[in-house]
Structure 1
Amino acid sequence: MQQSKYFRTSLAIIAFLTILYLGSKVIFLFRPLLAIINLLIVPMMLSGFMYYLLRPVVKFMEKKKIPRALAILLIYLVIAGLFVLFWILVWPTLREQIQNFIDNTPYLVQGLQNQFTQLQNDPSLSRFFQGDTNLTARISDYVNDAIAWVTNSFTNLIGVVSSIVVVIATLPIILYYMLKDGHKLSPILQGLIPKKFRKEGQEMFKEIDGALSSFIVTRVLLNVVLGIMLYIGFLIIGLPYALLLALISIPLNFIPYVGSLLASVPVVIVGFIESPSMAVWSVVIILVAQQIQDNVLSPIIYGKSLDVHPLTTVVIVLVGGDFFGLIGVLIALPVYMIVKIIFLRIYEIIVTEREDEVKVIKEEQL
């Protein structure tokens, strides 16, 4: 009996590997499908993000006896109103800071060199720079490399969202049907599972849905609040480009652990170009805001932390970025959470079946 089971399992593995091998030989047949996926991956990803963000609002409005379709349209009107307010109240200041930053970019490296030269000439600090006469040149090279990396990243991002018209045109439509019919997807997927494991499949989909909803909603709330705190702090210390730097920090902080460090780099550089004391105060503002986020807001909003080890998170983010670039970095952790839940459920089913088989064998022996 056991040999027969292992034989069937081995045959299944061999068949699966054979299918993969044959599929690699006819990969050209799937290129049109891959092109469509590449075109729709950004609007689909943004739609899924917005779906989990807006679904609680739709459910709340449904409880108030508002039809689902009408509730979605009302949400769209509110979002349009928020965009109008952003365009009127925030965009003029943001546009001015972006323009000033672009105009002053050639002077950033020169300003950084001047600050390091002044530090080297300071009698109280000169002993730290003894024997390192090329420090300023090397720092300038690092900054030039960083600016080039940022430029390339923006270029890659623009390449990913090459057809911005497609994103704008498809996102509201995809999101509308997700919000309207998203609750029907889980029963359809459950119907694909054998009846024997239907209950476990239902629990698995429910756990995946809850994990994604909690991750996305809480991340958005925490990062928006963090951005507001940073902006207020930057205004207090008089940091240049305060609004621009605070807005940049919000999407970067969606990258676990690594994102907070990446968001701090431009802030510290801009602060240091202004003055070394400004850089120190910038670091203080960042540390205070992150401590408030981690120790005060996170326990309240999350309720519990994600069951993912920090080292595992960093490795997942690096692997996702290496394979899929910026999109891979953003979706690495949610994908890992889904795969982990599926794996643990399958492992639980296998272990349970194994225990049942052992129990039956023991009963037969008795």
Structure 2
Amino acid sequence: MARHNRFIRWCITIILVLIIIYLGSLVDFIFKPILSLFSMSIIPLMLAGFFYYLLRPLVGLMERRKVNRTLAILFIYLAFAIIIIGFSIWVWPSLRTQLINLVDSAPTLFTSLRKQVEELERNGFLSSFLPQNSNLLTKLTEYLNKGFTLLTEYFSGLLTFFSNFAIVLITFPILLFYMLKEGGKFGEQIVRFIPKRFRHDGGEVMDEIDHMLSSFIVGRVIVNVALGVLMYIGFLIIDLPYALLLTVVAVILNFIPFIGSFLSSVPIVIIGFIESPSIAIWSIVIITIAQQIQDNLIGPYVFGKQLDIHPLTTILLVLVGGDIGGILGILLIIPIYMILKIVYSKVYVLFFKQRWENA
């Protein structure tokens, strides 16, 4: 009888939640300003959170050396300003030159790509890999046109982002400053909303989430920078054109879970193929070796077993994140999943484990 009543209560709760969601959809105009505020603040918050976990250990180290926390943050800001100035003087000119040359030589590169494919079709090299009557050149042109259409749409979206860049530029350093100064108190403020008898468990959950996010963000930066160094050295050895630019793009794209490594490889292989088929093959070899070192040596050492997520789970999460929130959804879905997993584990232990396992 008790189980029957419990089932009825759960059904009523679910029905009430669905009714609340339905009523909320009828008055969506009330939530539009909130959604607008969220969409404007999500980029600065993401950047601030990213750099908060990167810089927090450094702030803590300086504080342990008897440096005032606020002064330590200002020192870090000064160091960042010096790094940005150094980047703009020594690195950016080379990147800018490679980017301008790549854009200016795009028509020539496409002509060279067509010639390379025609040459491979003439010498019969591709016939052993492709079915008969398959016009690779036509398909390649079609795929490249689709790719450029997607790139055009993407860059038009970037223009919208950069039109709001002033907001990001102003709010991001301010948010980061207060997060570095008061970030340790954020979890305590959340725990205060939990009933007193669960505050200890809530504090453990917040500590676990904080540790997970720190390990995830710092670990991703370490493994991606290491991947970039390995790839850049390899590209210099094979004399790949635009090596620095392609490496920077690859490092950035590799922050996208699962599909980032594939997306970053496409432009590298195309540029290598335009130079010569052998360069394309060697670029694939270098990418494969670098990613294997990242996945099997650097990644396990940096992450340990903290990010033990099944590859199939990662694929499903990326698909769901991309469908819900585009590129931002893909970037955020893994941390959100891990946070929900931590919360679920604690809730299960507190409320369901003893009851279900002893039933």
Pick the TM interval, shorter chain.
over 0.9
- What residue in structure 1 maps to residue 181 of structure 2? 180
CA distance in 2, matches of 1:320, 1:10: 29
- What residue in structure 2 maps to residue 209 of structure 1? 210
CA distance in 2, matches of 1:303, 1:57: 22
How many pairs are equivalent? 358
Maintained 8 Å contact 2:62/2:72:
yes
Amino acid corresponding to residue 167 of structure 2 in structure 1? V
CA distance in 1, matches of 2:127, 2:355: 70
Amino acid corresponding to residue 236 of structure 1 in structure 2? I
Q: Percent identity?
A: 48
Structure 1 window deviating more from structure 2 (223-232 vs 93-102): it is 223-232
Amino acid corresponding to residue 307 of structure 1 in structure 2? D
- What residue in structure 2 maps to residue 311 of structure 1? 312
1:31-79 Cα distance to aligned partner (Å, 9 max, x none): 1121111111111111111111111111111111111111111111111
Displacement of 1:3 after TM fit?
A: 4.8
CA distance in 1, matches of 2:197, 2:68: 36
Amino acid corresponding to residue 294 of structure 1 in structure 2? D
Distance change in 2, residues 1:315/1:355 (3 Å): closer
- What residue in structure 2 maps to residue 348 of structure 1? 349
- Residues 29-48 of structure 1 aligned to structure 2 (within 5 Å): 29-48=30-49
- What residue in structure 2 maps to residue 147 of structure 1? 148
Displacement of 1:5 after TM fit?
A: 4.1
CA distance in 1, matches of 2:272, 2:203: 52
Structure 1 unmatched ranges of 5 or more = 359-366
CA distance in 1, matches of 2:125, 2:34: 65
Maintained 8 Å contact 2:321/2:333:
yes
Amino acid corresponding to residue 36 of structure 2 in structure 1? A
**SS where residue 240 of structure 1 aligns?**
coil
Distance change in 2, residues 1:49/1:127 (3 Å): closer
- What residue in structure 1 maps to residue 240 of structure 2? 239
1:309-341 Cα distance to aligned partner (Å, 9 max, x none): 111111111211121111111111111111121
Displacement of 1:284 after TM fit?
A: 1.0
Distance change in 2, residues 1:349/1:162 (3 Å): farther
Amino acid corresponding to residue 290 of structure 2 in structure 1? A
Maintained 8 Å contact 1:270/1:279:
yes
Maintained 8 Å contact 1:190/1:198:
yes
Distance change in 2, residues 1:133/1:342 (3 Å): closer
Maintained 8 Å contact 2:194/2:202:
yes
Structure 2 unmatched ranges of 5 or more = none
Are 1:268 and 2:287 counterparts?
A: no
Distance change in 2, residues 1:196/1:135 (3 Å): same
1:95-122 Cα distance to aligned partner (Å, 9 max, x none): 0001011111223332211101111122
Distance change in 2, residues 1:286/1:124 (3 Å): closer
Maintained 8 Å contact 2:212/2:306:
no
- What residue in structure 2 maps to residue 100 of structure 1? 101
CA distance in 1, matches of 2:148, 2:268: 13
CA distance in 2, matches of 1:62, 1:275: 54
- What residue in structure 1 maps to residue 292 of structure 2? 291
Amino acid corresponding to residue 277 of structure 2 in structure 1? P
CA distance in 1, matches of 2:25, 2:193: 26
1:15-38 Cα distance to aligned partner (Å, 9 max, x none): 322221221111101211211111
Distance change in 2, residues 1:262/1:4 (3 Å): same
Displacement of 1:158 after TM fit?
A: 3.5
Amino acid corresponding to residue 22 of structure 2 in structure 1? Y
CA distance in 2, matches of 1:349, 1:212: 23
Maintained 8 Å contact 1:109/1:144:
no
Displacement of 1:295 after TM fit?
A: 2.1
CA distance in 2, matches of 1:191, 1:126: 69
Distance change in 2, residues 1:128/1:200 (3 Å): closer
Distance change in 2, residues 1:127/1:318 (3 Å): closer
